[in-house]
Structure 1
Amino acid sequence: MAEESPRRPANAVGPLEPEPAVVRERFGAARDRLVRLAEDLHEHGERLGLLGPREYERLWTRHLLNCAVVSEAIAPDARVADVGSGAGLPGLVLACVMPRAEFTLIEPMERRCAWLEDESARLGLDNVRVVRARAQDVADEILVDVVTARAVSALKTLIGWTAPLLRPGGELVLMKGRSAEREIEAAAKAIRRHRLQDVRVRRLGEGWLAEPTTVVTARVPAEER
């Protein structure tokens, strides 16, 4: 009887997924920074509690490219706030691929803020600042063109945290999963409260990503609120 292969410990970090060819094809100018970010996450991510141990085997396809493609929905010179930045997904990734944009990474946990600041320096990013706070506590201090968020909260809650950060006419670009349409329905009261317009689901990267990225986009009124 053949011996069973030993099971990997539950907390063991998996091998880093090989870099897909599409990274160079689609994000060639940012490739070096993205590769460095992938390597740094693989080295430090588990220890810092940024990603689960099995996420590195799909780091490129499930995380980095999933975030990089969000740049399709953002003007190249936009002022962007990323809420709940954590590991830098999508904030650091977008800062790598959008050098003309300005990013404010909002994160309440001190350890994660330290990671974001240190990694921004390692990557040589001059378009990033890190703010240690909850989004709802800095609405009077931050006013941007676009707000992004990934895996932060249900849409009905997330709208209240993110919409107040937008300038008049600004846009939410919130990363969601397959239940995005249902989340929009459940968020009807929040959508009305913040007078959001053109609320819709978009799928980015269709035709070249194996799993396109789903985002919910919405605009606040252009007039002063």
Structure 2
Amino acid sequence: MSSKESTEQLAAQVAALCRSLGVSPEPETAIRIAGYLDLLTQWNRKTNLVGPRRADEILHTLVADSLPLAGFLESLPLADDPLCLDLGAGAGLPGIPLRCLWTRGRYYLVEVREKRCVFLRLAVGRLDLARTAVLQVRAEEALQQLPDEEIADQGADLILSRAFMPWQELLPFVRPMLTPGGQVVVLANEPLPAVLPEAWRPVESRSYTIRPGREESTRWFWALQAEA
């Protein structure tokens, strides 16, 4: 099978998965996500970015979270041109598929490991992701390394975390990095707790269901805001 045929087949799988999650991407968007999957699969054989998985497995277990996330972010009360930090970006999940669907603001993939940053920069460039860049720094240094000092001084409007650290540790970690009214979005395997730490309030929570195998898996997005 040629590389083009492989990408076309993956694009069809991406489109089908999107539809099952209530997402309606443009055909070229499905092709871009398929191109990312192709690139990730190639690199994964050499550098083990996401464990020993095939492209279709990566799609249904890891990329699946990125697809409904775009709609969730669009529903949040964010600034018109938000500054977004994706902490512990790893192999670009959820960030790179997300940016194929959701293009608002300036989006920084923050990752300290060099090999992953090399891959992320290659993927961002090859997919021509608008206003998306890679920062090879420790997460706590991300704002200080932004190219625009004035923006950095204002703080982030949105911080995302998939598995960077447990959410109980994440909230105090990111609070100094957020602009007043800024939000943190957590990708979780459990519903939003009834009681949050002091000085945090829920903005929105949404569940979604994926089917990585025969069994369904329900996951959640939480959007939280630090009180003034």
Please give the range of the TM-score, normalised by the shorter of the 2 chains: 0.7 to 0.9
**Greater gyration radius:** 1
Question: Shift in Å at residue 215 of structure 1?
Answer: 1.8
Structure 1 residue runs without a partner (length 5+): 1-15
Residue by residue, what CA displacement relative to the aligned partner does 1:75-124 show, whole Å, maximum 9, x if unpaired? 38533210000010111111111123321111111111111111101111
Question: Shift in Å at residue 54 of structure 1?
Answer: 3.0
C-alpha change, 1:47 and 1:164, in structure 2 (3 Å) is farther
1:71 aligns to what?
70
Q: Which amino acid aligns with 2:66?
A: C
Residue by residue, what CA displacement relative to the aligned partner does 1:169-196 show, whole Å, maximum 9, x if unpaired? 1111111113x556x86xx5xx32xx22
Q: Which amino acid aligns with 1:31?
A: A
Any conservation in 2 of the 1:70–1:213 contact (CA below 8 Å)? no
C-alpha change, 1:72 and 1:205, in structure 2 (3 Å) is farther
Number of matched pairs: 196
2:185 aligns to what?
173
Higher helix share: 2
Question: Shift in Å at residue 211 of structure 1?
Answer: 3.8
1: distance between equivalents of 2:73 and 2:167?
19
Using the size of structure 2 for normalisation, the TM-score is 0.74
Which of these residues, 12, 19, 38, is aligned with residue 13 of structure 2?
Answer: 19
2:5 aligns to what?
none
Structure 2 residue runs without a partner (length 5+): 1-9, 75-79, 146-151, 211-215
Using the size of structure 1 for normalisation, the TM-score is 0.75
Higher mean C-alpha deviation, range 110-119 or range 158-167: 158-167
2:130 aligns to what?
126
Between the two proteins, what is the percent identity of the paired residues? 23
Higher mean C-alpha deviation, range 113-122 or range 46-55: 46-55
